[in-house]
A and B are shown apart, each in its own frame.
Chain A
Amino acid sequence: MLRDIRPAIVLLLMMTVLTGLAYPLAITGIAQAIFPNQAGGSLVLRAGKPVGSALIGQVFADPRHFHGRPSATTATDPKDPTKTVPSPYNAASSGGSNLAPTAKALVDRVAEDAKALHAEAPGTPIPADLLTTSASGLDPHISPAAALFQIPRIAEARGMAEATLRALVAAHTETALLGLIGEDRVNVLALNLDLDATR
């Protein structure tokens, strides 16, 4: 026991300096030098100002934009710091709903959201990703089907041809790497930036 004390303390401190300071600082230095954009959070600029991150979803509520998935993130209640209030796409506090499949809160929420979406496109089945919250609450993507579902609403709000919007969605549909790794998806922020620039 006594003869273990010196190696324990020396190795612990040495490894703390090596793996806890030298290693992350060296990776930071190299990353900033060769991948400065990614290392800094993949920020998206418009007119020189950051409007978000390409990897992080944000709130879209305007009928003239494509909307992302519902988000279950919360923020501290400004009135009572022991409580939280809903705060969708809070990129300072990620998280999912963690609702059980049998939670009444889940069934009620989905039913309410479905009612609103039905009003938008009566008779069309609603893509599941538009009715379910993501694990991070910050999912930047929707499925191509979820983008197409929203086209009639956007076409009407903007007075644009649906064909133009469909072409835009097709141009923004990313497919699985090598057809095998990942899923087909549309980045909502990139799509909306392009949409705003189109008119």
Chain B
Amino acid sequence: MTILGWSQILLYVLLIGLLTRPIGRYLHHLASAPALPGEAVVYRLAGVDPAREQGWQGYALAMLTFKGAALVLAYGLLRTQTLLPLNPAGQDAITPDLALNTAISFITNTNWQSYGGETAMSHFSQMAVLTVQNFLSAAAGIAIAFAVMRGFARRSAGTVGNFWVDLTRLTLYLLLPASAVLALVLVWQGVPQTLLGAVDVATLEGPAQSIALGPVASQEAIKMLGTNGGGFFNANSAHPFENPTGLTNLLQMLAIFSLGAGLTHCFGRMVGSPRQGWAIFAAMGMMFLAGVVALYASEASANPLLAGIDSGLADAGNWEGKELRFGIAMSALFATITTAASCGAVNAMHASFLPLGGMVPLVNMMLGEIIFGGVGSGLYGFILFAIIAVFVAGLMVGRTPEYLGKKIEAREVKLTMLAVLYLPLVMLGFTAIAVLAPAGLAGLDIGGPHGFSEALYAFVSAAANNGSAFAGLSANTPFWNLMLAAAMLVGRFFVIIPALAIAGSLAAKKTVPPSAGTFPTDGPLFVGLVVGVILIVGGLTFFPALALGPIVEHLAMHAGQTF
């Protein structure tokens, strides 16, 4: 670990802290402004009455109808890419299982990729399918967070907002302009943006090299801002064309967290107390820093199996699967950010991290990606844990728990537990199936604990809607594509629906004024309690699986064993 590395991490943390307030203010404006210039045209065409708000069921139904339509369109366009324009590399048709996996992956904001971008997707598919769903799944995620926030902010109300208005505003007034600016900065730094196919060159020493190009920057920008993470190229943000410089790397990392951090402040403003937002920010920030320190410490140390080969390796960090321009610290920071948020873009190969380093991304995702998290999903996921925390606090003092003036009763706690229990069920249950079924084992490229980690990482990543991988796994088979698609669907909608139901039931309640017995949720005690709840729930659920994977691999590595 170096002073430069720590300074880089500190710089990042400072910048995110500075961005949180202005972004939160703007998000609050989008969530609450009566009308924005120009939006009326969109609503007229779409037959939407922006003044007619929906109850939680109506909001959920609109979202599900929209996702259904998006799934059909994305699947259809992927299956027919050979008949569509802009396919300079002559990519083949996408097989049914891969098209289904990819369509579900992108509408759920997961962006798991069983394919390599430059070897499978036409430019048209990258633009009109993948880029579009990057925008829309991000906008839908933030929209759900808006609905949940309104549940806390409103009193005796029957509605939580209008899905179509939230979706339109977030796409047109936030994601599109922000992506356009970021895309142009990325091009300036070297990210290609062209409709042409690969360029064939004769290299300096003679052999031909075919250099894949395409409309990369426009997709890259929304991929980061929307915490989507699906790369234009197979190597994702490690590819020099996706992430060419130290500056683009910093901007991409800021883009991943900016909206998730801004939403904490937006929440504070919505409920009339910015301190409530900062308390959430503090809890998320603490868990984030712990992850960064653990991952950086792991990767800055040498792989003991290689240390004996040459003294140069004994003195260096773990460089396998890392890019020189980012170095160890920025690779560790990126990996922590991308899995704390549900981004899943990578600038280093997580599979080649040392076992305890690779465990940090796994743990981040297992906790439900509530450390800033996916845009929108991070906030509503965190609020579920906050509800458990105040419930636990209420049990301890024998008082009906309240959060932000809303009484938390049996219905809310049951719905919360439903959402919190689905994820581990899928993550662990599907992993168990995969490591027992021959079709599952066929995808692993290594036996032993790392092979188990590959399968575990895949289902944790899919169910948490992250999309990164221990990419030694060969996932483009019907078994893996379909199992992972199911995990992604459950991970997205089985959390969203309970979250919306809670929003609806809270919105309908009266707000009780705080009294002397109210547990304050804007102070260090609450922050500590909610972090404790998250870690205990996560630890109890996942420790056995982690023991079988990264922890055993760590011990084997130090015992000199290879697989």
A binding-site residues for B, Cβ under 8 Å: 1, 4-12, 14-16, 18-21, 23-24, 26-28, 30-32, 34-35, 38-43, 46, 49-62, 65, 69, 89-104, 106-107, 110-111, 114, 118, 125-129, 131-143, 176-177, 180-183, 185, 189, 192-193, 196
- Residue contacts A-B, CB under 8 angstroms, 9 given: A11-B164, A24-B215, A40-B213, A94-B239, A128-B312, A128-B319, A177-B247, A183-B330, A193-B204
Bound complex: CA of A38 vs CA of B216, how far in Å?
A: 11
Report yes or no: A135 in contact with B235, Cβ–Cβ below 8 A. yes
Report yes or no: B4 in contact with A176, Cβ–Cβ below 8 A. yes
Least Cβ–Cβ distance between B146 and chain A, in angstroms: 17
Partner of A182 from B211, B245, B309 at Cβ < 8 Å: B245
Bound complex: CA of A118 vs CA of B126, how far in Å?
A: 45
B residues less than 8 Å from A24 (CB atoms): 127, 131, 193, 215, 218-219
B residues less than 8 Å from A60 (CB atoms): 204-205
B binding-site residues for A, Cβ under 8 Å: 4, 7-8, 11, 42, 45-48, 61-62, 65-66, 68-70, 73, 116, 118-119, 127-129, 131-132, 135-136, 164, 167-168, 171-172, 176, 179-180, 183-184, 187-196, 198-199, 201-205, 207, 209-213, 215, 217-219, 222, 233-235, 238-241, 244-247, 249-250, 303, 305-306, 309-313, 315-327, 330, 346-349, 351-355, 445-446, 448-450, 470-472, 553, 556-557, 561-563
Bound complex: CA of A138 vs CA of B556, how far in Å?
A: 31
- Closest chain B residue to A58 by CB distance? B203
Q: Given A1-B61, A18-B176, A94-B118, verify A99-B351 contact (CB < 8 Å).
A: yes
Partner of B211 from A62, A92, A133 at Cβ < 8 Å: A92
A residues less than 8 Å from B324 (CB atoms): 69, 129, 134, 139, 141-143, 183, 185
Bound complex: CA of A31 vs CA of B4, how far in Å?
A: 33
Report yes or no: B563 in contact with A183, Cβ–Cβ below 8 A. no
A residues less than 8 Å from B348 (CB atoms): 135
Q: Given A107-B305, A182-B247, verify A95-B235 contact (CB < 8 Å).
A: yes
Report yes or no: A182 in contact with B73, Cβ–Cβ below 8 A. no
Report yes or no: B352 in contact with A96, Cβ–Cβ below 8 A. yes
Report yes or no: B46 in contact with A19, Cβ–Cβ below 8 A. no
A residues less than 8 Å from B129 (CB atoms): 20
Report yes or no: A10 in contact with B563, Cβ–Cβ below 8 A. no
Bound complex: CA of A99 vs CA of B131, how far in Å?
A: 30
Bound complex: CA of A178 vs CA of B180, how far in Å?
A: 26
Known: A20-B132, A53-B199, A100-B351; 13 extra A-B contacts, CB below 8 A, are A12-B70, A19-B136, A31-B184, A41-B192, A49-B201, A51-B201, A53-B201, A56-B240, A97-B321, A135-B235, A142-B324, A181-B11, A181-B250
Report yes or no: B472 in contact with A98, Cβ–Cβ below 8 A. yes
B residues less than 8 Å from A21 (CB atoms): 127-128
Report yes or no: B470 in contact with A98, Cβ–Cβ below 8 A. yes
Q: Given A4-B62, A16-B73, A52-B201, verify A134-B127 contact (CB < 8 Å).
A: no
